[in-house]
């Protein structure tokens, strides 16, 4: 399953749609940055390991921005979605 299929699967749960956004996160080893998927109003994030790791947050942010754009999420929407997942 690709990351896109995973996002569409999450969005179709239940009777209402859950918006998702991609964001830079510290990788599990703590040595760099990775991409995580934040689901609106759900605590935490889901790592997207197939996107690899990055040396800088800016590099990870660029990839996350491109992924969000591909699924129709603006930068402002992504910030809001990520903020709702920080509980």
**pLDDT per residue over 53-79, tens digit each?**
999 999 999 999 999 999 999 999 999
**pLDDT per residue over 32-56, tens digit each?**
999 999 999 999 999 998 999 999 9
d(CA 85, CA 75): 16
Q: What is the pTM of this model?
A: 0.79
Residue with tokens 């591909």: 70
d(CA 12, CA 19): 9
């Amino acid at each position: 399953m690709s990351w896109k299929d995973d996002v569409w699967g999450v969005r179709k749960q239940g009777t209402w749609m859950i918006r998702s956004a991609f964001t830079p996160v510290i990788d599990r080893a703590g040595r760099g940055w990775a991409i995580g998927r934040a689901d609106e109003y759900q605590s935490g994030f889901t790592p997207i390991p197939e996107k690899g790791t990055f040396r800088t947050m800016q590099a990870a942010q660029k990839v996350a921005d491109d992924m969000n754009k591909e699924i129709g999420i603006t930068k402002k929407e992504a910030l809001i979605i990520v903020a709702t997942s920080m509980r």
